[in-house]
Structure 1
């Protein structure tokens, strides 16, 4: 029990420092972007249907179009990113990759070719889906409680996956959310899955007793 708590504490520290580092990078890029009149967002944001722009799905989350834009994304990104990472950095990095690719491809395939998409909101939706579904799939009490808490606090932002707000990349939100849910399924705790499968499997019937041994026992009981 003590070793598990120590591991959780260590992973939580790494998650905290990781998210602080990501925030530092995003805000440093924002300052440079602002000084450059947001040309970085225009140049390294994602445009759809252009093969050469596909790599921009990896730069898109670090770029924003205004101070209001980055402020609205920073707090939920920090909280949900930390909750996604505190169970281990390997799964967090893999989940982040799935979310980036899912959100990026959704924008690249379906967004208008005349628009440029940038911002970390796709990652926010991705981490939201990942954290909520992870607790359900892994049947971990702490993760389940965390997932329920996140769902209760952030469920209202799900309207962002619908095309109802002008000027917001709802496709990026939807793609990120799908990526987060997919990552939770792909990275679910296999040990728990195996345990549940073993519990659900029918127990083998006892092997039939050797008929010759049974006959000899009966004869012995009769004194023969």
Structure 2
């Protein structure tokens, strides 16, 4: 019974996250993308704190929809390592990808949940192998098999896509897996 409650709690949390993303996109849509001024602008000190708001903002409904389903799925899969690991991974990815973009990205307003998406992706690719546990290894193998093509997204393939957020999110996810998903840290 406890596992069902945990799954219900996880799904409820994911529903809230998705709901917030959708509400922000509707507000942005009706205000001419007003909220996007809270995106991350590299090397502008006033924008450094926007590493915490940028992942919640999107340039269009299409941009949000492209991120939403894999983001929620990867968040849920990351939650399988436990709440503490999920929170550590989330914060690490948000902060390290934000700092990476702020320091090294092209001059532009960087927004979107894809940095987080790639962070969870990086975590999921490596975490099963570092954990030494079969169930986690299976998650990693399934993610590699179904989503391995996402690796191309860390390359500069399209002008208006922040490959930098993808790259730094992915690297932060790998670091998170190495740090918090190793055998000694998993339950």
TM-score normalised by the shorter chain: which range applies? over 0.9
Alignment of 1:147-158 (within 5 A): 147-158=140-151
Give the root-mean-square deviation of aligned CA atoms: 1.6
The residue number in structure 2 matching 1:191 is 184
- The answer to whether the 8 Å contact 2:14/2:72 transfers is yes
Q: 1:39 to 1:192 in 2, by over 3 A?
A: closer
CA distance in 1, matches of 2:34, 2:39: 10
**Does 2:19 correspond to 1:24?**
yes
The residue number in structure 2 matching 1:219 is none
- The answer to whether the 8 Å contact 2:81/2:181 transfers is no
Residue 88 of structure 1 and its aligned partner are, at CA, apart by 1.4
CA distance in 1, matches of 2:169, 2:151: 12
Alignment of 1:5-154 (within 5 A): 8-41=3-36, 43-113=37-107, 115-154=108-147
- SS of the counterpart of 2:142? helix
Runs of 5+ in structure 2 lacking a partner? none
Q: Which runs of 4+ in 1 moved over 6 A?
A: none
Q: Deviations over 1:85-123 (max 9, x none)?
A: 13311210110000011211111111223x100000011
Structure index of larger Rg: 1
Runs of 5+ in structure 1 lacking a partner? 1-5, 194-224
**Greater RCO, CA 8 A, separation 6+:** 2
The residue number in structure 1 matching 2:156 is 163
Count of residues in Structure 1 that have an aligned counterpart in Structure 2: 186
CA distance in 2, matches of 1:139, 1:170: 31
